[in-house]
Amino acid sequence: MYSSIKQPELLPYGKIREDLFRPLSGMTKTYFAAILIPLLVILFGAYAWMAQLRYGMGVTGLQRPVFWGFYIVDFVFWIGISHAGTLISAILRLTDAGWRKPITRAAEAITVFALMIGGMFPIIHLGRAWYFYWLMPYPNSRLLWPNFRSPLLWDLTAIVTYVTGSVIYLYLPLIPDMAQLAEHNAPWRRKLYRALSLGWTGSDTEWHALERAMKLMAGIILAVAVSVHTVVAWDFAMAIAPMWHSSIFGPYFVVGAIFSGLAALMIVLALIRKLMGLELYLTRHHFDNLAKLLLLMSVLWLYFTMAEHLTVWYGNDPNEMVVFGARTRARFAPLFWLMVSVNFVVPFVLLGIRRLRSIGTGVIASVGILLGMFLERYIIVVPTLSNTRLPAATSTFYTPSWVEVAVTVATFAGMIVLYLLFSKLFPIVAVWEFKPHPHEDDL
Amino acid sequence: MTHRWGMAIDLDRCTGCEACVAACHAENNIPISTPEQAATGRTTHWIRIDRYYEGAFPDVKVKYMPVLCQQCDEAPCEPVCPTYATYHNPEGLNVQVYNRCVGTFYCANNCPYTVRYFNWFDPVWPEPMQLQHNPDVAVRMAGVMEKCSFCIQRIKRGKDEAATAGQPVADGDIQPACVQSCPAEAMVFGDLNDPESKVSRMAESSRSTRLLEELGTKPKVFYLERGR
């Protein structure tokens, strides 16, 4: 009956509420299985990490001189994914783009979960992970502050700020929905939602305050997001290692992060559209816009990759050229050229040609982009470390061990579990955004 | 006057016999590396002999170069450590405090000489080697970074003994294990702040050069190039 309506905003509000609150109740077998299988994967990942804690970092594939491997790649990858929510939601909220409404919350949730996962990796990666709190600046019995000159400390600061900010940014637009849900629900849920709604009554003053808070947070979170991935890039750029020490790394990483974040968002949206039956709310229109954004980021990514590699090649510094050769011609060349094809060639064809652009091809391109961005980080981290400045110190090749692979796979499972739990507890599309504006009622 | 410890290595004299490596292992409680570790890039030698080959078989020339921590004045490993596990001590030594190390690996990545070694597992010694540990040196646990300390325990003892005798530390009194055991006397250790010390005079030699000097790390190990 409503299938002819192209914009979800035009649906009657009663139906919107009905549709979007419905997935919260009930528990199907599929849902149960979908959460149980990833949980088993997580358990195995936890077992792998236990082995690492028990026996030492030797259970990983790390070695001299490749001291950073899959864990650091995972770290940069997940922090990159977290840029999905901020870009979509903050930029679109600030520019007041109408089409953002059904996708903001799904995006913001990705941000929070990806950050939680990414933030674990600097700890998992530590030789003595149980002392991770030594990196935190607080007055302690060791009478020693951490070293503020270390990029790792900037990292810690940036990520903690980003997690805090994005949790607030996810929470603020949840408040009106919480108030709606508190009215009618199972007793334990009613309690939860009432507590979370902070006594929201929906008065004019409250709406104005919320509106202002969201605008303010959108501005703040945007700046924080850009700075976070710049700081992540500086972990590499501040080092004197060949092909890490590059001033372009800050913006290069930010672009890569937004790129991979958008791809993740595309996949997640297509999944919840299918699984939760939200075809009326997440329409071709949204995916089309996302595809265009992906296309833009793909071209930007290519530009940065080219700028980075062209300057190194032209500069012809012997140490850098060894790494450049390893990336483009020698051992890592298959990975490098695979990265270029899935990050640029495939999306450019699938999303650039209008006739080919659809939800299905968008998802295919996005999966490729996620793989490509994982490869990109691998290609940045490993070839530089494998090719030391002193030729005699170059050692055997790094390959990740089962522990690193298990932990990596477990984080993807973790994302699935967190997302499934979130979508069971909270409406994945912000319902109140579709509410006729309070002032329109007054007129 | 504060000391500024430095080393000079005459590559013309080095025969690549690896006596320095063995002495260093014994002095500093470094576990004995196994072939399996070597195959996986997990060996630990605070001083190692890098080999460079020149020419094609059968006219091959092997050149040896002992490489240890260069004790840089502008050490790239120091600013990146979040816990001050590696820092600059007043005598210019680049010191590693094992108890502070959490194992971020950042220092090792940022060392252009790749002379930092990690404890991948808790160290083990074949029986009865564990009985000959040097009591002056800590045994490092799994998860911490370590590297050449210029035998800081010997430096300390040398200074203490000189102070007890009421005399300044004489040139050559303090010798790290590698220097002491070098049969060719290719390695010389001493105070760079003393212009008369042997190491200072060798550092002034026209053959004197420093490893990867162009990076601006200001190493305190001087290599005397081979004569042609």
Convert the pLDDT of each residue in B14-27 to its tens digit: 999 999 999 999 99
pLDDT digits (tens, 9 = 90+) for B46-86: 999 999 888 888 899 888 999 999 999 999 999 999 999 99
Instruction: Using pLDDT thresholds of 50, 70 and 90, give the confidence band for residue B220.
Output: very high
Q: Is residue A443 pLDDT above 60, yes or no?
A: no
pLDDT confidence of residue A442: 42
Which is more confidently placed, A432 or A294? A294
Cβ contact, residue pair A65, B108, below 8 Å: yes
- Domain assignment present for residue A102? The answer is yes
Residues of A with CB under 8 A from a CB of B: 55-58, 62-68, 122, 125-129, 131-132, 134-135, 142, 144, 146-147, 149-153, 156, 235, 238-241, 385, 388-393, 395-396
Least confident span in A147-161, A428-442, B118-132, B198-212: A428-442
Q: What distance in Å separates residue A78's CA from the closest CA in chain B?
A: 19
Q: Is residue A110 pLDDT above 70, yes or no?
A: yes
Peptide bond before residue B135 is cis, with ω within 30 degrees of 0: no
Backbone angles phi, psi at A395, to 5 degrees: -115, -160
* E runs forming strands in A278-433: none
Percent of chain A with pLDDT over 70: 95
pLDDT confidence of residue A406: 96
Q: Which residue ranges make up each domain of chain B? A: 5-224
Q: What distance in Å separates residue A407's CA from the closest CA in chain B?
A: 18
pLDDT confidence of residue A3: 56
Q: Is residue A439 pLDDT above 80, yes or no?
A: no
Cβ contact, residue pair B110, A56, below 8 Å: no
Which is more confidently placed, A272 or A9? A272
Size of interface A-B (CB pairs under 8 A): 143
In whole angstroms, give the CA distance from residue A153 to residue A162. 14
Q: What is the DSSP string of B31-64?
A: PPPPHHHHHTT----SSEEEEEEES-TTS-EEEE
pLDDT confidence of residue A17: 75
- Domain assignment present for residue A187? The answer is yes
pLDDT digits (tens, 9 = 90+) for A55-83: 999 999 999 899 999 999 999 999 999 98
Domain that holds residue A169: 28-137+146-238+404-443
Least confident span in A65-79, A99-113, A305-319, A367-381: A99-113
pLDDT confidence of residue A189: 82
Closest residue to A150, CB basis, from B40, B79, B109: B79
Cβ contact, residue pair A57, B100, below 8 Å: no
Query: What's the domain count of chain A?
Result: 1
Count CB-CB contacts under 10 A for residue A40.
Answer: 11
In whole angstroms, give the CA distance from residue A386 to residue B145. 18
pTM: 0.93
Cβ contact, residue pair B105, A125, below 8 Å: yes
Q: Is residue B138 pLDDT above 50, yes or no?
A: yes
Backbone angles phi, psi at B10, to 5 degrees: -90, 105
Q: Is residue B181 pLDDT above 70, yes or no?
A: yes
Least confident span in A187-196, A330-339, B214-223: A187-196
Least confident span in A187-201, A429-443, B90-104: A429-443
pLDDT digits (tens, 9 = 90+) for A117-135: 999 999 999 999 999 999 9
- Domain assignment present for residue A350? The answer is no
Q: What is the 3-state secondary structure (H, E, C) of A42-110?
A: HHHHHHHHHHHHHHCHHHCCCCCCCCCCHHHHHHHHHHHHCHHHHHHHHHHHHCCCHHHCCCHHHHHHH
Residues of B with CB under 8 A from a CB of A: 39-43, 50-52, 65, 67, 76, 79-84, 100-106, 108-110, 112-114, 117-122, 141-145, 211-212, 215
- The token duo for A107 is 């995006």
Which among A106, A98, A85 has a CA at the least distance from the CA of A23?
A106
Least confident span in A178-182, A262-266, A430-434: A430-434
In whole angstroms, give the CA distance from residue B211 to residue B50. 13
Mean pLDDT of chain A: 88
- Domain assignment present for residue A250? The answer is no
Cβ contact, residue pair B42, A63, below 8 Å: yes
pLDDT confidence of residue A87: 73
pLDDT digits (tens, 9 = 90+) for A393-409: 876 678 999 999 999 99
For B5-224, CATH number? 3.30.70.20
Which among A75, A23, A112, A31 has a CA at the least distance from the CA of A417?
A31
Which among B21, B64, B65 has a CA at the least distance from the CA of B176?
B21
Are B86 and B116 within 8 A, CB to CB? no
Mean pLDDT of all residues in A172-178: 88
Instruction: Using pLDDT thresholds of 50, 70 and 90, give the confidence band for residue B44.
Output: very high
pLDDT confidence of residue A162: 93
- Domain assignment present for residue A222? The answer is yes
- Domain assignment present for residue A228? The answer is yes
